[in-house]
Amino acid sequence: MKPVSISSTSANGRRRAGFSLLEMLVGMGILSIIVLALFAMFNQTQKALLANVGQSDVMESGRSIMDLLGRDLTRARPSNLGSNIVYVPGTTQIDEVINPAANLVVMRTAAGPTDNNVRNVFLDQWRRDTLLHDVFYLSETEPGLWAGAGLFVAPEDPNNPDDGVGTLYRYEDRQPVNLRGARGAKRADLLYDRFFNNAQYRANPTNSSRLLDGVVFFRVTPFGPSGQALDRTSFSRTNLFPIPQGVLIGPDSRVGYPLNATLFRGQAFPSSLEVELGLLPTELLDRYRALPPSPPGIRSRFLTNNIANILVFRQRIPMATPSALP
């Protein structure tokens, strides 16, 4: 019988079955690289997914708001009120002389960022000469009863009115007035003053409701019966498309109208309104809010760097057929 060496066989078996320390370190290093690569890929995918979800939410909110504005603005009607000349009873003295009532006003405000870099990006010094507009119009709630309504953008930070991002509000006067009678134009002027000249009344939660955050620009352009833009453009300053009667486009020293606005009075009314709305997606809005407001150049630079990511909505809204005041 041939003798067998047990110790030799056991030693060879151990050498064949095990890994050296170097091999284990190399294997662990490769596994670590694979795990890190997979984590980076999944993390990037998750970020993209969350960004798409946030953008989809903003897109849906923007479309919903545009639909709401379309339904809301079509309620606007001209009051057809002319000038009032009211005499004091029993005398020949004139009590008051009131201009025709304002049916609809598009006020091109000076609100928004004052940084020149931001304004050069978002404005073209032609049709888009301001970033934020205020819109006021009359709406007949009941036969003979009229209320003022409108849209405006307020800064998110009241202490920083030149902030580049604001909140869109819808205004609805809860105290309608009767426009019939000799003093109808004066009462209509009261509705106008509540919106433009009484900031506390307009900002009251009873009268104003919050619609949308992250608004970078909000512009409304009225159009006339010939399709001309009734704002500060070359079309409004030529004889090719004359300004309709009852429409004031300012500032215009020739007619004594100093405001940067388009005003429709008496029987004048636009044929359509074009609404432009620019929004920051939720992720960018959160990053914007995290930036310090001072110095203002930080937030302004953030807006200009992310101009390609701003969501823009545009809609042309035809106005309803004007109805005369009974």
DSSP assignment of 238-274 equals SSSSPPPTTEEESSBTTTTB-SSEEEEETT---SEEE
In a domain, 303, yes or no: yes
In a domain, 39, yes or no: no
In a domain, 210, yes or no: yes
In a domain, 154, yes or no: yes
Model pLDDT for residues 7-32, shown as the tens digit of each residue: 555 555 555 556 787 878 888 888 88
Distance CA 214, CA 11 (A): 74
Say how many domains are in the chain: 1
In a domain, 68, yes or no: yes
pLDDT along the chain (326 residues), means of 10: 53 60 82 85 71 64 84 88 62 58 88 73 71 92 89 82 83 89 79 90 90 90 86 64 82 82 88 91 87 79 85 89 44
Please tell me the predicted confidence (pLDDT) of residue 326.
35
Range of the domain at 203: 48-318
Residues in the chain: 326
**Is the pTM of the predicted complex or chain greater than 0.85?**
no
Residue 81: how many other CB atoms lie within 10 Å:
26
In a domain, 115, yes or no: yes
In a domain, 200, yes or no: yes
Peptide bond before residue 158 is cis, with ω within 30 degrees of 0: no
Please tell me the predicted confidence (pLDDT) of residue 325.
36
In a domain, 24, yes or no: no
Peptide bond before residue 326 is cis, with ω within 30 degrees of 0: no
Please tell me the predicted confidence (pLDDT) of residue 107.
92
